């Protein structure tokens, strides 16, 4: 599992197949490319288009499957069957939904800021797709292995809120504005614990590149960094506005929040972006904490990645199905008073451990896990103790408490149910 | 320096996912805080009370089904008691037991709906709601068995019920009661100790018992504030003086207390039904048509009877001029009166609690607007 | 009470995840290979060998069987059942209908020396579009001529088609609901399996035998 594997990216393979003689392909066996020398720019463009097409369509296909799978799982959690009418096991349901969405009337409110209103769906879909460029889906299957990959993800995901704010502002709808302001508050609060939660992982791996982080995971970092995983998971749920933090879309309060005025495929793009965010979040969690594509040898790496991704998605859907929503002040309190402290504890403990074992081997990682788990459980217990709502002092009225005037009041005979016995003949 | 903010007026409803029907509120927000609420209703007004003046006494039973459509048996019950009092009809004992069983089943169904939708308003994406609805479905199946309809029952008639329960009803009822208890246990394991629900509902929309009494609010809302007021116990109608049940009380008077009282009342209803099954006696289910004709002509006068509905005191006031239809019918709709304190509950609260409070009142727009 | 609430909630939802679904699929139910084989009365392996195409379809989740929704015998359904031989055109049903949607026009029929004058039904229309299925007309019918039906699939594209006419009622399958008809329950009549063809069976009393009739009307006089 060395540098050679990581260097073996899909894009570079296509590029070198087309333009073999270039210097960047010197270490490879491609003696001559398909294109003549001097046409490296064309090889570059073709390779880029192929890779973009592959990733975008792959992600969109994944979204279609995810929508179906999520609805099936929703059904199972609610002891229903879920959609099963169109196609085998209902797999064509989301295809039918997509067709329906595209043919709906595209309504733009009269008061809307037309340019921004049309721009917002594009603004939200583009960053959601960009995140996938740094995620390694398997050995060699990635677009770019940035040396600041984690930082890139953090930067790109926070763009989502900008487009949410744009959408809400441009549709000139007060409910949408309330939703967007909640979204901004959520982002500002949860970006910090999310970034700090990754610090532990970065310290252990010694790199911000996702490829290096996977290579460093002799054992999955969820075992070494339970606290980091907990905080990152919660913050990620909040970032993509999933239950119990789905305040931006809060169906029972804000109807659909910032999506209120969107119809047709513009709504569809928001919807797609939301599900893309779900997939990318699961992929990031898989990469950072579940050792990405690593697994036993005979089974291919892509399969391992997919299996872990689906497991994380299942947990996210399980959370969404089970938990009620928190209130906005509670959500913010949870971020600043709960998760922030937890990340600080995590960083300090991890720093001490790394000071003891500067170059952690697998055995040292197990030692770290043994230290980290008690710390995690203790600190989470402490935080819940501090933040939790205390129970009632007393729920039953005192037996000797003064009765309210109503307690002794006699019901007037005219309004009590008393049948007078003098049965009278009525009617015909 | 304090940031200067400006209140925003937002119109919520009448088409909104969680207004329990068609209810409209003009809410003024300062940030997330509610400054002012103006409830606007009447979107579901069907003129039931006026229509009743054109119907015979038996035909009005079908109108009462449609007032509070999640507890139609209780509406039937209150109306029939008023007619019996007005026309001085002695009910048949078996009919009385049967209608008590039906009413208590309906109370469980109504409380299940209330609990489910309260948690839905809390944002639980329908999972507890569907668990509650699943159980309500079993109760509606029982209703279909005894009266052929699931929601608009029209089961009760002056003097009892229209027909005896079929033989297969009794084993099904026994099974159904066990299922209900199991579902309540499941809901309690899921919801009662849930920290999120607890932190969302504890201490929100607190009302003092004095205010509740002055506003004439009844039902689980009043009992959640510690006032022991249950018409089944205070002014027993039918044979409620022959069954034992605990009055569920809570002192907190907040949203959680209202939820808790409802859940525990379902258990008490199951107890009442079990006692009814033990005490039911054979016999006719309604007086013969010689005693109570199909076309009732009550003597001149008026009658008001209130029962403990699922949402509070449900009263029917009937005035007769000696004819075949009432001169005037008025319904004391508990939903409408419970709604009157909405402003007191909401103002000063958070936006997120708005619909939770709304759900904890457990109102039904069909009954509010009639 | 407060403490382990969230984990307990997760366990409850997971239990329901494993539990079989309570959904009643309608009008048809999707069944897998096992279900198809059971329908055909074979074991799955047998079925797989004998009907490979059907098996593949079942494995892909495309095989369906029609389902009958479980209903109670008292179900107040969408179609009325009417026995013209029992009807005397007294119009009680029309009088008792809260909405006044039953239209009855009767004409004087034949005059029988024994039975006296009788009325013949000319028009008998029920406007199902406004009907609320309270069943008061059935309760009012003194001769058990009108019964609630048990079916519920009567949606139409035009409102006029929702009016059930006399002829339609005559021709329809007689599957009366036992709503307010205790005689059906005593006979344990199942409207979802059998029909009532003889109008004497729909009444509250058994038809007296010919001997009894003779005894009553000839011998006693």
How confident is the prediction along chain B (370 residues), in pLDDT tens digits per residue? Answer: 577 778 888 888 787 777 777 888 888 888 788 888 888 888 888 888 888 888 888 888 888 888 888 888 899 999 998 988 888 888 888 888 998 999 999 999 999 988 888 888 887 777 888 888 888 988 998 998 888 888 888 888 888 888 888 888 889 899 989 989 988 888 888 888 788 888 888 888 888 887 888 888 888 888 888 888 888 887 888 888 888 888 888 888 888 888 889 998 999 999 999 998 988 888 888 887 777 777 888 888 888 888 888 888 888 999 988 888 899 889 988 888 888 888 888 888 888 888 888 888 888 888 888 8
Q: How confident is the model at residue A23, as a pLDDT?
A: 58
- Judging contacts by C-beta atoms under 8 Å, the chain B residues touching residue A80 are 130
Does residue A2 register a pLDDT over 50? no
Of A252, A417, A427, the CB nearest to B293: A427
Q: Is A76 on the interface with C (CB under 8 A)?
A: yes
Mutate which of C15, C23, C92, C96 to disrupt the A interface (most A C-beta within 10 Å)? C23
Over residues C96-123, the mean pLDDT reads 76
Of B127, B227, B298, the CB nearest to A322: B127
CB contact under 8 A, A81 and C6: no
Chain B (181-200) residues lying within 8 Å, Cβ to Cβ, of chain A: 194-200
Residue A424, token pair as written in the block: 């009278």
Q: What is the pLDDT of residue C85?
A: 76
Say if residue A286's pLDDT is above 80: yes
User: Do residue C8 and residue B58 have CB atoms under 8 angstroms apart?
Assistant: no
Predicted local distance difference test score (pLDDT) of residue C65: 81
**Which of A68, A81, A377 has the most C C-beta neighbours within 10 Å, making it the best mutation to test the interface with C?**
A81
Tell me whether residue B47 is in a domain. no
Closest CB to C8: pick one of B152, B189, B196. B189
* Closest alpha carbon to B303 in B103, B81, B154: B81
Q: What DSSP string runs through A6-43?
A: HT--HHHHHHHHH-TTSGGGTTSS--S-SSPTT-HHHH
To the nearest whole percent, how much of chain A has pLDDT over 90? 1
pLDDT of residue B45: 87
For residue range A352-404, what is the model confidence (pLDDT) as tens digits?
888 888 877 878 888 888 888 888 888 888 888 888 777 777 777 766 665 55
Residue B151 lies in a domain: yes
Helices (H), chain B: 48-52, 60-65, 72-87, 93-121, 127-147, 169-187, 195-201, 209-214, 220-223, 231-234, 255-279, 334-338, 342-346, 354-361, 365-369
pLDDT band at A4 (very low <50, low <70, confident <90, very high): very low
Does the beta carbon of A81 lie under 8 angstroms from any beta carbon of chain B? no
**Domains of chain C with bracketed CATH:** 25-67 (no CATH), 81-202 (3.30.70.3270)
Pairwise CB contact (< 8 Å): C5 & B193: yes
Q: Domain span at residue B109?
A: 72-157+168-369
Verify whether the Cβ–Cβ distance C17 to A76 is below 8 Å: yes
Per-residue model confidence (pLDDT) at position B367: 85
Is residue A64 within 8 A of residue A95, CB to CB? The reply is yes
CB contact under 8 A, C17 and A322: no
Chain C: residue nearest B188 by CA?
A: C9
Give the whole-angstrom CA distance, residue A232 versus residue B277: 56
Contact A24/B at CB under 8 A:
no
Distance from CA of C2 to the nearest CA of B (A): 5
B146 touching chain C per CB within 8 A: yes
Q: Please say if the pLDDT value at position A423 is more than 70.
A: no
**Measured distance CA(A195)–CA(C178) in Å, rounded:** 69
Closest CA to A93 of A104, A82, A103: A82
| Nearest of B82, B50, B53, B48 to residue B65 by alpha carbon | B48
Nearest to A395 among B209, B251, B352 (CB): B251
Say if C185 is an interface residue toward chain B (CB within 8 Å).
Answer: yes
C163 interfaces chain B, CB cutoff of 8 Å: no
- Pairwise CB contact (< 8 Å): B148 & C148: yes
CATH number at residue B80: 1.10.645.10
Q: What is the pLDDT of residue B10?
A: 86
| Beta carbons of B352 and A328 less than 8 Å apart | yes
Is B58 an interface residue toward C (CB < 8 Å)?
yes
Query: Using one digit for the tens of pLDDT, what is the confidence trace for A325-335?
Result: 888 888 888 88
What pLDDT sits at residue A410?
Answer: 55
pLDDT tens column, A294-353:
777 777 778 888 888 999 999 998 888 888 888 888 888 888 888 888 888 888 988 888
**Token pair in block for residue B80:** 């029939």
Would you state the pLDDT for residue A22?
55
Residue B47, min C-alpha distance to chain C (Å)? 14
Average pLDDT over residues C100-109: 83
b/e B300-317 (16+ beta carbons within 10 angstroms → b)? eebbbbbbbbbbbbbbbb
User: For the residues of B275-332, what is the DSSP string, one character each?
Assistant: HHHHH---S-SS--TTTS-SS--PPSEEEEEEEE-SSSEEEEEEEE-SSSS-SEEEEE
Mean pLDDT of A137-159: 81
ipTM score: 0.84
Of B10, B126, B213, the CB nearest to A78: B126
* Predicted TM-score (pTM) of this structure: 0.85
DSSP readout, B41-77?
--TT---HHHHHTTS-TTTHHHHHHTTSTT-HHHHHH
Q: Distance between alpha carbon B351 and the CA centroid of its chain, in Å?
A: 26
What is the rounded distance in angstroms from the CA atom of residue A278 to the CA atom of residue C61? 28
C111 touches chain B (CB under 8 A): no
What is the mean pLDDT of the segment spanning A12-29? 64
Mean pLDDT across chain A = 80
pLDDT of residue A7: 55
B-chain CB neighbours of C185 within 8 Å are: 166-167
Phi, psi of B248 (to 5 degrees): -85, 125
Band of residue A416 on the pLDDT scale cut at 50, 70, 90? low
Q: What is the pLDDT of residue C2?
A: 46
Instruction: Kindly report the nearest CA distance between residue B198 and chain C, in angstroms.
Output: 8
- Is B364 inside a domain boundary? yes
Cβ-based neighbour number of residue C166 at 10 Å: 18
- How many angstroms separate the most distant Cα atoms in chain A? 114
**B350 close contact with C: CB closer than 8 A:** no
Instruction: Inform me whether the pLDDT recorded for A30 exceeds 60.
Output: no
Q: Is A88 within 8 Å of chain C by CB?
A: yes
Strands B328-332 vs B313-320: parallel, antiparallel or unpaired: antiparallel
Residue C4 to residue B62, Cβ atoms within 8 A = no
Question: What total number of domains does chain B contain?
Answer: 1
pLDDT of A8: 60
Most B CBs within 10 Å, among A77, A252, A404, to test the B interface: A252
CA C107, CA C185: separation in Å to the nearest integer?
35
Band (A181; pLDDT cuts 50, 70, 90)? confident
For chain C, the chains sharing at least 3 beta-carbon pairs closer than 8 angstroms are: A, B
Q: Which residues does chain C have within 8 Å of residue A330's beta carbon, measured at their own beta carbons?
A: none
Closest to B145 (Cβ–Cβ): which among C1, C72, C140?
C72
The helix/strand count (H/E) of chain A reads as: 17, 0
- The pLDDT value recorded for residue B22 is 83
């Amino acid at each position: 599992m060395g540098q050679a594997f990581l260097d073996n990216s899909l894009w570079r393979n296509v590029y070198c197949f087309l333009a073999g003689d270039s210097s960047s392909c010197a270490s490879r066996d491609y003696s001559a490319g398909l294109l003549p020398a001097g046409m490296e720019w064309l090889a570059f463009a073709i390779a880029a288009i192929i890779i973009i097409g592959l990733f975008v369509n792959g992600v969109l296909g994944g979204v279609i499957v995810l929508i179906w799978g999520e609805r099936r799982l929703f059904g199972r959690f609610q002891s229903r069957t879920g959609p099963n009418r169109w196609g085998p096991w209902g797999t064509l349901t989301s295809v039918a939904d997509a067709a329906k969405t595209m043919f709906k009337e595209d309504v733009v409110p009269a008061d809307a800021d037309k340019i921004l209103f049309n721009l917002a769906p594009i603004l939200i879909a583009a960053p959601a797709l960009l995140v996938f460029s740094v995620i390694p889906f398997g050995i060699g299957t990635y677009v770019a292995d940035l040396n600041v990959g984690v930082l890139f993800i953090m930067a790109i995901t926070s763009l989502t809120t900008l487009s949410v704010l744009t959408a809400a502002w441009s549709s000139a709808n007060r409910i949408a504005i309330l939703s967007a302001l909640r979204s901004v508050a959520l982002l500002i609060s949860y970006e910090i614990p999310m970034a700090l939660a990754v610090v532990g992982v970065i310290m252990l791996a010694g790199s911000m590149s996702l490829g290096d982080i996977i290579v460093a995971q002799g054992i999955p970092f969820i075992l070494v960094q339970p606290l980091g995983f907990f905080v990152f998971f919660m913050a990620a749920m909040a970032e993509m506005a999933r239950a119990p933090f789905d305040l931006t879309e809060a169906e029972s309060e804000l109807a659909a929040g910032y999506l209120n005025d969107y119809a047709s495929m513009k709504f569809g793009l928001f919807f797609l972006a939301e599900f893309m965010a779900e997939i990318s979040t699961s992929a990031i969690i898989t990469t950072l904490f579940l050792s990405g594509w690593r697994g036993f040898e005979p089974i291919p790496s892509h399969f391992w990645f997919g299996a872990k991704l689906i497991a994380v998605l299942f947990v996210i859907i399980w959370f969404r199905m089970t938990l009620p929503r928190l209130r906005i002040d509670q959500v913010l309190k949870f971020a600043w008073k709960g998760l922030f402290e937890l990340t600080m504890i995590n960083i300090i403990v991890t720093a001490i451990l790394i000071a003891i074992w500067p170059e952690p081997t697998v055995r040292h990682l197990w030692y770290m896990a043994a230290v980290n788990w008690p710390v995690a459980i203790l600190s989470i217990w402490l935080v819940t103790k501090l933040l939790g709502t205390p129970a009632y002092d007393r729920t039953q009225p005192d037996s000797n408490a003064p009765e309210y005037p109503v307690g002794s009041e006699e019901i007037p005979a005219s309004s009590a149910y008393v049948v007078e016995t003098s049965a009278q003949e009525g009617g015909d | 320096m304090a940031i200067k903010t400006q209140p925003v007026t937002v119109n919520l409803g009448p088409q909104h996912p969680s207004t329990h029907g068609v209810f409209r509120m003009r809410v003024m927000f300062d940030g997330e805080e509610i400054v002012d609420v103006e409830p606007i209703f009447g979107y579901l007004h069907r003129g039931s009370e006026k229509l009743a003046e054109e119907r015979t006494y038996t035909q009005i039973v079908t109108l009462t089904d449609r007032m509070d459509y999640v507890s139609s048996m209780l509406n039937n019950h209150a109306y029939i008691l008023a007619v019996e009092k007005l026309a001085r009809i002695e009910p048949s004992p078996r009919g009385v037991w049967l209608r008590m069983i039906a009413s208590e089943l309906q109370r469980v169904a109504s409380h299940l709906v209330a609990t489910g939708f309260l948690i839905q308003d809390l944002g639980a994406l329908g999972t507890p709601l569907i668990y509650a609805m699943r159980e309500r479905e079993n109760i509606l199946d029982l209703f279909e068995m005894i009266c052929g309809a699931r929601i608009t029952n029209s089961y009760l008639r002056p003097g009892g019920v229209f027909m005896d329960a079929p033989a297969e009803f009794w084993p099904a009822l026994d099974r159904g009661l066990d299922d209900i208890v199991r579902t309540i246990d499941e809901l309690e394991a899921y919801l009662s100790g849930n920290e999120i629900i607890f932190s969302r509902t504890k201490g929100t929309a607190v009302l003092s018992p004095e205010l509740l009494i002055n506003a004439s609010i009844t039902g689980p809302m009043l009992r959640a504030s510690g006032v022991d007021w249950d018409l089944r116990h205070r002014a027993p109608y039918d044979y409620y003086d022959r069954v034992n049940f605990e009055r569920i009380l809570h002192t907190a008077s907040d949203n959680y207390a209202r939820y808790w009282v409802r859940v525990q009342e379902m258990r008490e209803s199951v107890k009442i039904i079990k006692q009814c099954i033990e005490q039911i006696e054979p016999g006719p289910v309604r007086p013969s048509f010689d005693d109570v004709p199909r076309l009732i002509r009550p003597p001149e006068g008026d009658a008001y009877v209130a029962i403990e509905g699922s949402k509070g005191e449900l009263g029917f006031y009937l005035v007769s001029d000696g004819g075949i239809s009432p001169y005037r019918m008025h319904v004391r709709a508990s939903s409408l009166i419970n709604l009157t304190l909405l402003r007191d509950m909401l103002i000063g609260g958070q936006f997120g609690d708005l619909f939770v409070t709304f759900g904890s009142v457990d109102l039904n727009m069909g009954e509010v607007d009639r | 009470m407060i403490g382990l609430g969230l984990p307990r909630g997760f366990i409850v939802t997971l239990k329901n995840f494993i539990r079989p679904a309570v959904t009643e699929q309608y009008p048809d139910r999707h069944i897998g290979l096992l279900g198809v084989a059971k329908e055909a009365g074979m074991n799955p392996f047998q079925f797989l060998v004998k009907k490979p195409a059907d098996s593949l379809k079942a494995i892909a989740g495309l095989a369906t069987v029609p389902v009958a929704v479980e209903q109670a015998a008292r179900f107040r359904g969408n179609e009325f059942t009417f026995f013209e031989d029992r009807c005397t055109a007294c119009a009680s049903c029309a009088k008792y209908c809260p909405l006044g949607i039953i239209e009855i026009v009767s004409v004087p029929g034949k005059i029988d020396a024994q039975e006296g004058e009788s009325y013949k039904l000319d028009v008998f229309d029920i406007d199902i579009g406004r009907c609320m299925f309270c069943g008061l007309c059935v309760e009012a019918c003194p001769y058990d001529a009108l019964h609630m039906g048990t079916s519920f699939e009567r949606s139409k594209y035009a409102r006029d088609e929702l009016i059930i006419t006399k002829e339609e009622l005559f021709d329809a399958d007689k599957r009366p609901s036992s709503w307010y008809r205790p005689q059906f329950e005593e006979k344990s009549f199942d409207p979802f399996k059998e029909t009532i063809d003889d109008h004497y069976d729909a009444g509250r009393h058994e038809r007296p035998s010919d001997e009894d009739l003779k005894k009553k009307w000839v011998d006693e006089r």
